[in-house]
Amino acid sequence: MNVIEGFIEVTGGKVWYQFHNKNSSKIPVVVLHGGPGSSHYSMQGLYVLAEDRPVIFYDQLGCGKSDRPTDHSLWNIDRFVEELAQIKQALSLDEFHILGHSWGTTLAAAYYLSRPVGVRSIIFSSPCLSAPLWAQDQDRNRKLLPPDVQETLIKCEENGTTDSEEYKNANAVFIKHFVCRLDPYPEFLKKGKHYRNPEVYNIMWGPSEFHVTGNLKDFDCTSKLKEIKIPTLYTCGRYDEATPKSTEYFSELTPNRKFHVFEQSAHMPYIEEPEEYVQVVESFLNEVE
């Protein structure tokens, strides 16, 4: 396996990237990680896709191994779309597939709808394509939590104490139900916590997955999904915060789509059911080509 890594100049600083290839001439897949303000860290196991085709990871500006500028004006979706375009140019990607996860699907959709040239297919993994619909889904999910946890979340949000340990502990219960159901929670994921940048997350999203107060709170591209005519794959976990109902709804708005649910997973099927996840993704990409 050939692995190349380095940095690319983008608006606001430098982003780290990693290019995996096993001498394949197939079209590369670019992985867009979740967040905002997370990193490729949790998704790095998808390098196994490079047994079949080139795989490109990068840490979006502000997190992971990339620069962490303090200019708050950088944290908006248009700049992240521009960042991906700058990476495409720097790596001379005439054609590429996009695999976006969570916020990465928001970015994938925004990118394709403004700069479609060269994108061969998109994988919307646990998609967030409507922040208002996401918020509605999480309101319903919260009602499935123990009553005392629900009360704590409401109290802290009303009192403005979402940075308290009490709120974080209640949020951890939500995560166990709807983000990653593996028990015990993987040590691997705990070790990657320092790659995140909570400031970017708070500015763009909010204090938690289900309390959306950031500048993405009105993002909704559902009316434009009919414009995505390239092959698309929608996936989610059965217990995903990106609910099967909403994920299927998005897929039904997209002309050339497939839909798959990982039955034993929440929001991280690439970790919860890695073998099936890789098989589904590889099968889709090979069929596209």
User: What per-residue confidence (pLDDT) applies to 211?
Assistant: 85
Query: Which distant-in-sequence residues (6+ apart) come within 8 Å of 258 by Cβ?
Result: 231, 232, 233, 234, 251, 284
Task: Answer for the pair 32, 6: CB distance below 8 angstroms, yes or no.
Answer: no
**Domain boundary assignment for the chain:** 2-288
User: What per-residue confidence (pLDDT) applies to 210?
Assistant: 86
The fold of the 2-288 domain, in CATH, is Rossmann fold (3.40.50)
Nearest-CA neighbor of 160 among 202, 204, 207? 207
User: What per-residue confidence (pLDDT) applies to 223?
Assistant: 98
Q: What is the pTM of this model?
A: 0.96
Nearest-CA neighbor of 250 among 57, 108, 71? 108
Query: Which distant-in-sequence residues (6+ apart) come within 8 Å of 61 by Cβ?
Result: 10, 12, 13, 15, 67, 69, 74, 79, 80, 83
Length of the chain: 289
Q: Is 273 exposed, middle or buried (0-12, 13-18, 19+ CB in 10 A)?
A: middle
Q: What is the mean pLDDT of the chain?
A: 97
Instruction: Point out the residues that are catalytic.
Output: 102, 240, 267
